[in-house]
Structure 1
């Protein structure tokens, strides 16, 4: 049985991605935690050579906690497209190139789908994955994962979110993630149920295990 540890005080968000950082700040806002990013601390980005999202998340969290001496929270996430045999998957960020310009990545998705004659919604199934890892300086780690399923639309829609959000429409919704507000995408419902996005769903599990709201 896993013994969960309370996350409190000052925490490093192990990312240099501003979009991801904004979402993590929104999610952690109600819990009274002081946040600083790896980018703000000038920490180097470790080589992510894991074979799973959870492994890459752990690599980043462990590197950040060792460098800072603080608990670190890391997310590794990506989009997996059925017709592309799960690609881009772990390499979702790589498709955007060193400049992290996702416009060519979005175009590449459409080209690759066309090559495989994936032109109808049933052939454009996809899901986002988020793996959240908390690492403490003493070596303790905890992992939480979330997924959301949907389809790839035929052209980018919306300017919200980041990454592949403009081409992903989650099941049961008319809007892409790019067309949704921040609250629509990853807001935590008042009834305490999980939010919509993969990151919100992973965070829901993390919050239940490791976070407490200030009284």
Structure 2
């Protein structure tokens, strides 16, 4: 009986941890509403550089404000800083998808002639779906807990197998979060054996030693310096 209680406690803890795994700690940021209002005022006055700085000062990656990111992307678009505009449109879209945003993003991509590189290989597949792994881990952990409560005569081997599956999914998601590829936008051209990847290219990247990133894609084999790469999501 004791092992069932211990397994229930472990399943509960795993379910809560896996479900909350997507939350990230963020650095200090200003009040997003105040930053939005100030940026809007400066934008209306035609002071676009100052408006962009005001919007960015209010950005908190731990609590993304989609309108703030969208307005910053639009301001950068007006300033012809298109790679940065794409970055902020992507951040806004991750926070809250919007048809107008997608249209502006398409226009910026078309103007730059940039491309979106899908992540390649097993690493890319796992990186793209790491949040799904966390949710699956949470679902299996809660299933174990439910079986322990509702069907106490469930065979031990079934419970142990499900618990091991939940642990494996959670560990896989954690490894992908910590070491896997992350979506990014190139803010400067990056040379590859097949030619330059232009600024504005959207790709999945993995950090390397020496302040560099490797592009994780089937169609490109490139290592880019860190200043040329801007992560869409904050690092763990």
Using structure 1 for the length normalisation, give the TM-score: 0.28
Q: Which has the higher helix share?
A: 2
Using structure 2 for the length normalisation, give the TM-score: 0.26
Larger radius of gyration: 2
